[in-house]
Amino acid sequence: MRVDIHNHFYPAAYLALLEERGRGVCVRTDLQGRRYLEEAGTRLATLTPPMTDLERRFEMMDAVGIDVQVLSLTAPNVYAFTADDAILAARLVNDEYARIRAAHARRLRCLASVPLGTGAEVEELDRAILQLGLDGVVVGTNVAGRALDDPGFDPFWRRVDELRCPVLIHPMTPMVGTRHMEDHALVPMVGFPFDTTLAVARLIWTGFLDRHPHLRLIVLHAGGALPYLAGRLEIGADAYAECRQVERRPTWYLGRLFYDTVSYHPPALRLLADLVGVGRMVLGTDYPHVIGDPARVIASLAQAGFSPEDLERICWMNARDGLGITLEPPGDA
C-alpha cells in the first residue's frame, strides 16, 4: 500500500478568487506555454492539468500504484489576500476539500488551510477538523514574511497542539534571498527547501517545539538541508549561548519531526533515515508540480536499499500510526 501525504490540488473557485483579488500574485505563461503563478518576481507553481482535474490524478495513481493521496493547497495558500478574503478563501477551499473527501473516501484525504494572521485561524481550524472532518492542516514555512514562531500565531499553535492533528509545513516564497532567485526556476529547486530549513531551525532555537510538545509536524523535500546540516546545528548549540536556551539537543528535535521522501537522490534518503529513523519518514511526491514525479520518488526509495519492512513503514504505516491519517485496510484501498 502507498499513501502519498504531499501532493496538491487547487479548487477552481480558489484560483478564480486568487486571479481576481489576490495580492502580489499574478498568472504568467512560461517559454513552454504553461501557465504559472508568480509572486515577488519568482515562480511559485505551474498550473499543470492535474492541479484542478481529479481524473488525471486518479489515472496517475493507478499507473504508479498509489492507493491514497492526502491533498493540500500549495503556495501561496490563503496568504495572498486581505484578511477578509483570506478567511473567505480558507472556507471555500476547506468546503471543497470536504466535498471531495466525501466523494472519494477510499482514495483521498485532505488537509485544511487556515487564514493565519487574521484572528480567525482557530475558528476555521476547529470548523475544518471538528465539523468538516478534514485530516489535518497545511501551513506555509512563512506567512507573508512572518515566521511560524511569530508570537501572534501562538493561539493557533496551542489549538493544533490540543487537537494533535498532523501539520504539513509547505514552502512559500522564501523569507530571504528572492532577488537572487528570479531566474532559472531557483525558487522551487533551491529556495523552497532552504526556506524549510530556515523555518525549522527557528522552531528549534526559539523554544517553539518545547512549548508545543504534541505537534505532529511534517517537513517536506526530505527536510531540505536539515539532515546535511545536523552536525552544524549540534556544534552551534555548543558555541552560541542563545542556542542553549532550549531543553534538548538539536538532533533530538529533528528526530521529533516527520519527513517526506521528495528527494530523488537515494543517498539523501539513506542520510535522512540514519538521522531520524525510518519511523519518521512518510511517502510524498509533490505531485502534480512539474518537479513532482511520483514514479521517480518510488524508484528512488527502491534504489535506497530499504528493507521490505521499512518500505511498508515509509509508504503507509507511518502515515496511519504516526500521523493518525485514517485509512482503509490495505487489501480494500
Whether 34 is covered by a domain: the verdict is no
In a domain, 226, yes or no: yes
Q: What is the pLDDT of residue 44?
A: 78
Residue 144 lies in a domain: yes
**Looking at the domain assignment, is residue 30 inside a domain?**
no
The confidence band for 173, taking pLDDT boundaries of 50, 70 and 90, is: confident
Q: What's the domain count of the chain? A: 1
Q: Is the peptide bond before 288 cis (omega within 30 degrees of 0)?
A: yes
CB atoms within 10 A of CB 236: 16
What is the residue range of 271's domain?
Answer: 3-10+50-327
Beta bridge partners of 39: 25, 42
Residues 6+ apart with CB under 8 A from 207: 245, 246, 247
**What is the CA 212 to chain-centroid distance, rounded?**
19
Give CA–CA dist 77/15, Å, rounded. 11
Chain segment 280-319, per-residue pLDDT in tens: 999 999 999 988 999 999 999 999 999 999 999 999 999 9
CATH classification at residue 302:
3.20.20.140
**pLDDT above 70 (res 153):** yes
Closest among 147, 253, 190, 145 to 43, alpha carbons compared: 190
Does the pLDDT value for residue 95 go beyond 90?
yes
The closest of 142, 147, 200 to 172, measured between CA atoms, is 142
- Give the ranges where the chain is alpha helix by DSSP (H): 12-21, 54-64, 83-103, 121-126, 154-163, 186, 192-205, 208-211, 226-239, 250-254, 266-276, 294-303, 308-312, 318-321
Binned at pLDDT 50, 70 and 90, residue 329 comes out as low
- Residue 49 confidence (pLDDT): 92
Residue 33 lies in a domain: no
* 275 belongs to a structural domain: yes
User: DSSP letters along 291-332, please?
Assistant: T--HHHHHHHHHHTT--HHHHHIIIIIHHHHTT------GGG
- Per the domain annotation, does 123 fall within a domain? yes
**pLDDT average, residue stretch 15-21:** 93
Average pLDDT, the chain: 93
Tens of pLDDT along 50-94? 999 999 999 999 999 999 999 999 999 999 999 999 999 999 999
* C-alpha cell read off for 331: 487489501
Q: What Cα–Cα distance (Å) separates residue 40 from each residue in 14, 68, 194?
A: 20, 34, 17
Residue 166: predicted pLDDT = 98
Q: Is pLDDT above 50 for 32?
A: yes
Task: Give residue 177's pLDDT.
Answer: 73
More confident residue, 266 or 290: 266
User: Per-residue confidence at 244, pLDDT binned at 50, 70, 90?
Assistant: confident
Task: Using the predicted structure, report yes or no on whether residue 333 has a pLDDT greater than 50.
Answer: no
pLDDT of residue 185: 73
More confident residue, 253 or 180: 253
